[in-house]
A and B are shown apart, each in its own frame.
Chain A
Amino acid sequence: MPLSNPSLTHLNARGEAHMVDVADKPESRREASASGLIRMQPETLALLSEGGLPKGDVLATARIAGIQAAKRTHELIPLCHALALSKVAIDFELDEPESCVHVTATCRLNGRTGVEMEALTAVSVACLTLYDMCKAVDKGMEIGAIHLDTKTGGKSGDYRRDEARGERAVTPSVIESAPSPIVTGEGTSGEVSVGQRCDIAAPCIRVKCLAELRERLGVGDVSVPVDRLPSSDVAGLKTALKALDPRFEGLDQGRVLCAVNQVMAGDATPLTDNDEVAFFPPVTGG
């Protein structure tokens, strides 16, 4: 193969590896999703879903590992740029018939380079962490099928993997690492669900109300179709929520904070399909 092949952007004219100069590329919204799986014994999968493994909350740990890995991709892959990712989401699907865990990662940013390496790295490290968390009971687990599913934005155009995903495409049941809000009244634990997908087919924003706000409004999770938003930002979402249900007038009562994809945000923060928006009262930890 000639080394001047223009598709190998990490090789220069002499065939040497180099980092692509992206300073003059225009910024655009980039998103990539990748997935993979780890096969295990049915007994291991059962232990995982029951939370009976010796190292504790396996999926929560693997999710954080995947997010951290995405942020550190440039330290692992020699010619990758360091990116300020605006979103990293890791989802797990426990597949009992196939006796495996499907791992999906989505990365996003507004910038000059694609984020597919970040998504692939996140999936790989989330799978490795699942292995580490479960290896005490099952050393024969196998990691595989790590691949890019979709990529949008940028000069090279959008990419979608043209592969029928078989029976998975029919019933994408998303298993969450924790049950839906379990703090109400004398609740015993302090977690809320994260990482679920929209429960309606159209493009939508996933909204969460946390802590005191959830109890005051009587709403935990709700999905809002994107086309209901008069403007594609948090202010537009608030307007749409109030039109949907008068209880959301409470968003204007007292100090209510907001995070978009788990990063603090304000009324002007832009929103797009499948963003996670959380509203909550001032924090009181420590």
Chain B
Amino acid sequence: MIRVQESVFDAGVEQRALLEGRSDIGAVVSFTGLVRDFNERPEVQALTLEHYPGMTEAALGEIVEQAESRWPLQGVTVIHRIGRLTPADPIVLVVVASAHRRAAFEACDFIMDYLKTRAPFWKKEHTASGDYWVSERDGDHHDARRWEMSS
């Protein structure tokens, strides 16, 4: 299940929904990304997330499909928020269910690495010293490349 939404999500509710009525799932890994109050500059007061409707959902769908082709997964939920968020708000949720923990851990890690480098979202941070668009990080690309080398 993939959702792009302005409203807040509840990681517990989403995880329970993914597991409801299932007894074949042996492991569920849930990752939540939060807004920090420091990034390229200190004192981040808010950020605005822009996306490219249509392509965003397709890109997330493709990332989940790739994860499902690499690991035996029994359920995946990806929720990404858009619009204006403030520090401590949840931004992104990835919940991955599998029969065994290794697949769930790795697939969750993979989905986040690919989401950060391939899904069309852009962050603009609002700080005490002005607004700026967040730059891409080499570290994110390095993280995403790990999956190409190991495959």
Query: Do A190 and B48 touch across chains, with their CB atoms under 8 A apart?
Result: yes
Which residues of the other chain, A, contact B112 by a CB distance below 8 angstroms? Answer: 286
> What is the number of contacts between chain A and chain B, taking CB atoms within 8 Å?
117
Query: Do B55 and A278 touch across chains, with their CB atoms under 8 A apart?
Result: yes
Interface centre among A63, A192, A263, A286 (most CB of B within 10 A): A286
- Cα distance A194–B33 when bound, in Å? 27
Q: Contacts A63-B54, A64-B54, A262-B58: A285 and B48 contacting too (C-beta < 8 A)? A: no
Interface centre among A56, A63, A194, A211 (most CB of B within 10 A): A211
Q: Shortest Cβ distance from A250 into chain B, in angstroms?
A: 14
Q: Shortest Cβ distance from B141 into chain A, in angstroms?
A: 9
- Cα distance A185–B47 when bound, in Å? 11
Q: Contacts A190-B51, A285-B51, A285-B80: A211 and B133 contacting too (C-beta < 8 A)? A: yes
- Cα distance A63–B4 when bound, in Å? 13
Query: Do B50 and A190 touch across chains, with their CB atoms under 8 A apart?
Result: yes
- Cα distance A3–B93 when bound, in Å? 55
Q: Shortest Cβ distance from B16 into chain A, in angstroms?
A: 21
Query: Do A286 and B53 touch across chains, with their CB atoms under 8 A apart?
Result: no
Which residues of the other chain, B, contact A255 by a CB distance below 8 angstroms? Answer: 136
Which residues of the other chain, A, contact B126 by a CB distance below 8 angstroms? Answer: 186
Query: Do B121 and A189 touch across chains, with their CB atoms under 8 A apart?
Result: no
Query: Do B119 and A190 touch across chains, with their CB atoms under 8 A apart?
Result: no
Query: Do B136 and A283 touch across chains, with their CB atoms under 8 A apart?
Result: yes
Q: Contacts A190-B83, A286-B116: A280 and B52 contacting too (C-beta < 8 A)? A: yes
Q: Which residue of A lies closest to B57 (CB)?
A: A64
Q: Which residue of A lies closest to B85 (CB)?
A: A190
Q: Shortest Cβ distance from B131 into chain A, in angstroms?
A: 7
Q: Shortest Cβ distance from A108 into chain B, in angstroms?
A: 15
Q: Using a CB–CB distance below 8 Å, which chain A residues touch chain B?
A: 56, 60, 63-64, 67, 177-178, 183, 185-192, 194-195, 210-212, 215, 255, 259, 262-263, 278, 280-286
Query: Do B123 and A285 touch across chains, with their CB atoms under 8 A apart?
Result: yes
- Cα distance A284–B115 when bound, in Å? 9
- Interface membership of B122, Cβ < 8 A: yes
Identify 19 new A-B residue pairs, CB closer than 8 A, beyond the known A189-B48, A283-B122, A285-B122. A183-B50, A185-B131, A186-B48, A186-B131, A187-B50, A189-B6, A190-B84, A192-B53, A194-B54, A210-B120, A211-B122, A259-B120, A263-B55, A281-B133, A283-B116, A283-B117, A284-B123, A285-B116, A286-B112
- Cα distance A280–B52 when bound, in Å? 10
Interface of A is mostly: loop
- Interface membership of B36, Cβ < 8 A: no
- Cα distance A64–B112 when bound, in Å? 22
The 9 closest A-B pairs by CB, nearest first: A285-B121, A211-B122, A262-B55, A212-B133, A282-B136, A190-B82, A286-B116, A190-B50, A189-B83
Residue from the list A67, A178, A263, A280 in contact with B122, Cβ < 8 A: A280
Which residues of the other chain, A, contact B64 by a CB distance below 8 angstroms? Answer: none
- Cα distance A187–B133 when bound, in Å? 13
Which residues of the other chain, B, contact A211 by a CB distance below 8 angstroms? Answer: 50, 122, 124, 133
Residue from the list A191, A262, A278 in contact with B82, Cβ < 8 A: A191
- Cα distance A255–B92 when bound, in Å? 25
Q: Which residue of A lies closest to B91 (CB)?
A: A286
Which residues of the other chain, A, contact B101 by a CB distance below 8 angstroms? Answer: none
Which residues of the other chain, B, contact A189 by a CB distance below 8 angstroms? Answer: 6, 48, 82-84
Q: Which residue of B lies closest to A183 (CB)?
A: B50
Contact pattern, B 100-120, Cβ under 8 Å of A = 1, otherwise 0: 000000000000100111111
Q: Which residue of A lies closest to B33 (CB)?
A: A286
Which residues of the other chain, A, contact B117 by a CB distance below 8 angstroms? Answer: 283
Query: Do A280 and B48 touch across chains, with their CB atoms under 8 A apart?
Result: no
- Interface membership of B17, Cβ < 8 A: no
- Interface membership of B135, Cβ < 8 A: yes
Residue from the list B53, B120, B135, B136 in contact with A178, Cβ < 8 A: B53
